[in-house]
């Protein structure tokens, strides 16, 4: 339970939700877009977020899109993670999403809520970073479409009140050969010690990570090294590990040394599996 009152809104249009957010802000309130609500409720119980207005986006049709046009797969931000267990149109997203939380929680957590959340693992972003997906957002200056790699730097760079509506991914990228591996400290649900997702685009392996640093990231410098097939795989992986951004997590879940040890093993498996010709 959240121990204070808040207003609840359920807009059915994108413009209505953005306008509501703006009006509430101007009235001195603290509005929050609400998708799955798992993080808002968790942090709200701990008094770490104090929403006094909730804008539930689940009734907005564009936020629930799931389908192809001629060139792209469109995925609405309010789609729940379990949706991708049933529909495997984007296999890498299905395999990452399935491992995010337990089945019951995945019935509530949404793609957009995970990507926009404060808790820093945000694993659902990895497939979209690898596939150069387009983020469709709505804010004070209307709808915008931008490559996610131009607007994700540790977290999604949204203006205050900007709503992530959906993500569009090129058809050929959703079907590309892919793999994801998540290693936890223990058990088979929970936050990652290390998660690596990878996509093979025309023989070039792309890699993105969660759990290594206190933010998810895709590393093009690591990709360049890993794809240099003139060098032995062992040397490539050692060199790639030197390019991990600072800081590497070093906490009760796992020391920095242990995380790097696990990462080395995962990267070896991934490069071998995705084809190291
Ligand atoms: C048991 C459990 C285990 C978990 N394990 C993991 C894990 O291992 N890895 C991992 O990555 N996650 C994990 N999570 C999920 C994570 O911690 C968050 O709870 C979840 O991602 C939030 O998603 P939501 O849809 O519930 O978002 P919400 O709580 O609805 O929103 C989260 C934040 O994003 C904002 N927001 C939501 N949607 C939008 C939008 N469309 N546009 C702009 N802003 C928006 C909200 O205002 C809020 O600030 C776990 C969760 C649970 C319950």
Domains of the chain are: 7-56 (3.30.43), 61-173 (3.30.465.10), 176-273 (3.30.390.50)
Average of pLDDT values for 258-268? 97
Q: Which atom of ligand 1 is nearest to the CA of 102?
A: 1
Nearest CA to ligand 1 atom 20: 114
Q: Write out the DSSP string of 75-106.
A: EETT-BTTHHHH--SSHHHHHHHHTTS-HHHH
Of the candidates 178, 209, 183, 189, the one whose C-alpha atom is nearest the C-alpha of residue 88 is: 178
Residue with tokens 């939700």: 17
Query: Which pLDDT belongs to residue 253?
Result: 85
Burial class (CB in 10 A: 0-12, 13-18, 19+), 129: buried
| C-alpha–C-alpha distance, residues 89 and 71, integer Å | 13
pLDDT(2) > 80: no
| pTM of structure | 0.97
How many beta carbons lie within 10 A of that of residue 105, not counting itself?
Answer: 15
Q: Please choose from 33, 53, 57, 159 the residue to mutate so as to test ligand 1's pocket, defined by most ligand atoms within 8 A of CB.
A: 33
Ligand 1, from 117, 119, 155: best to mutate by most atoms within 8 Å of Cβ?
Answer: 117
Q: Where residue 190 falls among pLDDT bands split at 50, 70, 90?
A: confident
pLDDT band for 141, please (50, 70, 90 cuts): very high
Split at pLDDT 50, 70, 90, the class of 4 is confident
Asked whether residue 276 carries a pLDDT value surpassing 70, the answer given is no
pLDDT digits (tens, 9 = 90+) for 96-139: 999 999 999 999 999 999 999 999 999 999 999 999 999 999 99
Ligand 1 interacting residues, C-beta cut-off 6 A? 32-40, 57, 77, 100-102, 105, 109-110, 112-114, 116-117, 119, 121-123, 158, 163-164, 190-192
Query: What pLDDT, on the 0 to 100 scale, is given for residue 1?
Result: 63
Residue reference for tokens 């991914």: 169
List the residue whose alpha carbon is closest to atom 23 of ligand 1: 113
Average pLDDT, the chain: 95
Mean pLDDT over residues 42-57, rounded? 94
pLDDT tens for each residue of 222-253: 999 999 999 999 999 999 999 999 999 999 88
Rounded distance, CA 34 to CA 252, Å? 31
Out of 77, 101, 115, 208, mutate this one to test ligand 1's pocket (max ligand atoms within 8 Å of CB): namely 101
> Cβ atoms within 10 A of the Cβ of 152, count?
21
Residue % of the chain over a pLDDT of 90: 93
Phi-psi map region of 161: left, alpha, beta (phi>0 left; psi -120 to 50 alpha): left
Question: What pLDDT does residue 275 have?
Answer: 82
Ligand 1 centroid to Cα of residue 234, in Å, is: 36
Distance 73 CA to ligand 1 centre (A): 22
- Which atom of ligand 1 is the closest one to the Cα of 49? 49
């Amino acid at each position: 339970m959240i121990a204070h009152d808040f207003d609840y809104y359920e807009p059915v249009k994108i413009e209505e939700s953005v306008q509501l957010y703006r009006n509430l802000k101007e009235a001195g309130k603290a509005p929050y877009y609400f998708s799955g609500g798992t993080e808002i409720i968790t942090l709200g119980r701990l008094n770490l977020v104090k929403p006094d207005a909730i804008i539930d986006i689940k009734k907005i049709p564009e936020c629930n899109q799931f389908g192809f046009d001629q060139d792209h797969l469109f995925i609405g931000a309010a789609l729940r993670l379990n949706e991708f267990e049933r529909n495997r149109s984007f296999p890498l997203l299905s395999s990452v999403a399935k491992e995010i939380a337990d089945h019951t929680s995945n019935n509530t957590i949404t793609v957009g809520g995970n990507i926009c959340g404060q808790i820093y693992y945000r694993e659902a972003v990895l497939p979209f970073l690898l596939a150069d997906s387009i983020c469709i957002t709505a804010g004070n200056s209307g709808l915008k479409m931008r490559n996610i790699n131009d607007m994700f730097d540790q977290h999604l760079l949204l203006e205050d009140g900007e709503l992530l509506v959906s993500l569009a991914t090129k058809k050929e990228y959703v079907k590309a050969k892919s793999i994801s591996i998540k290693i936890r400290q223990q058990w088979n649900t929970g936050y990652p010690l290390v998660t690596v997702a990878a996509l093979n685009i025309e023989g070039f392996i792309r890699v993105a990570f969660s759990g290594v640093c206190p933010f998810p990231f895709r590393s093009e410098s690591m990709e360049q090294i890993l794809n240099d097939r003139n060098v032995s795989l062992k040397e490539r992986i050692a060199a790639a590990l030197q390019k991990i951004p600072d800081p590497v997590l070093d906490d009760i879940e796992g020391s920095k040394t242990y995380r790097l040890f696990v990462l080395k093993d995962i990267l070896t498996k991934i490069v071998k599996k995705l084809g190291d010709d």
